[in-house]
Amino acid sequence: MRNFLNSESFNKIYEIFYDEKGIDDKGKVHCENIKKGLLIPKGDEELILHFCNNLYKIIAAYNQWENERFEQISEDNKNYCIYLKYWLYEKTENHNIRGFDINEYFQKWKDKLEEELNNNKKYPCKFNELNSTERDQMRNIYAFVLIYYRNLKKFNQNEYIDCKYLGYMGKGLNEYYDSLIKCSEEEAQSNYCEEFNEFQKTYMGHNIYLSTSKDDLDYKFDDTDTVNCPLEIKSLEYPLHLIYKEGKNRWHLSDQPIGSLNSSIISASSAIGTTVGISAFLLYLYKHTSFGSLFRTRMQKDNMILDDVNEGTQSLMLSTSHYESLPFENSDYNITYYSLNNS
């Protein structure tokens, strides 16, 4: 099997966090020292101590006390916060206690650990209070962007990945669409939107065009299919065009206004699926994260978004947003699109 993602930052960092045998001895001492004065979420001491130890690892690297674990990783240390959140959200989602919220205790453990370390240079990472539904929404968004979108070229070049993996990624697109609408309106000051907006500032780009459309074809797929999968790269550049399919609903991402795309690119009659290479890393995620359980249920959301990520972008500005119906040439359906740009 071609392990085409194993060289990427996500894989390396996630494995550092996941490795229960890789507990930092100094971090373990500090986490045990602060344990007495803090509450333990859901009574799971093993989880919170593992979280605390991972937090120590990135704080130590950030302050250049020790950086051996991360020295071969090109990712900006400040971005490790997102990876740690993804790890935490996976661990709590797979917990045997239903409805495991991300409560205030996680931020209190971070604050107490930095106090214990007598650290004046605070690590820029906030653990927002999220209920279990919000946690899962952010987890899905993180999975789409960190695993799929940041590796589009590799996914486009490789063959034979089961559709179940791309179905999982598509769920993150769905959540991103919902979150973009929600967090550009009246709820923008919520804890959830604070986290979502933080993520955008780190990973999202400008001048992207997002659309939804309807089709007469009620799309379905089998988990083991490797063609005509839910999430397709219709065009990698000039223009970029991604499409996600669920039932009769279609969602599009492009770096050009959707109405300007050639109809042959977005034709509903096209059954050409992007076939992407299966990797040992995806199997690793399937075994150790929520991949496995998610593949056994159909996605239920009605809307989703596909977004363009520029790794170095530091901010994203939402223009005055509007919806507009535009007909596709030689097609029987209309689209509704949502545009993001910096103008």
Q: What is the DSSP string of 244-289?
A: EEEEEEEEEEESS-GGGS-HHHH-TT---PPP----HHHHHHHHHS
333: left (phi over 0), alpha (psi -120 to 50) or beta: beta
Residue-level pLDDT, tens digit, the chain, 343 residues = 235 565 567 888 888 998 877 899 999 999 999 998 899 988 889 999 999 999 999 999 999 898 788 887 878 888 899 999 999 999 998 887 767 889 999 999 999 999 999 987 899 999 999 999 999 999 999 988 888 888 888 888 876 788 998 998 888 888 888 888 888 876 667 999 999 988 987 887 667 777 788 899 999 999 988 889 999 889 988 888 888 889 998 888 788 887 655 433 332 222 223 223 334 445 555 555 655 554 443 333 333 333 333 333 222 223 323 223 223 333 333 444 555 554 4
Q: Which helix (H) or strand (E) holds 235?
A: strand 231-235
3-class DSSP assignment, residue 223: coil
**Could you tell me the pTM of the whole model?**
0.74
- The span from the CA of 5 to the CA of 297, in Å, is 25
SS3 63: coil
pLDDT tens string 95-140 = 877 678 899 999 999 999 999 999 878 999 999 999 999 999 999 9
pLDDT tens per residue, range 266-284? 322 222 232 233 344 455 5
CA gap 169, 299 in Å, rounded: 11
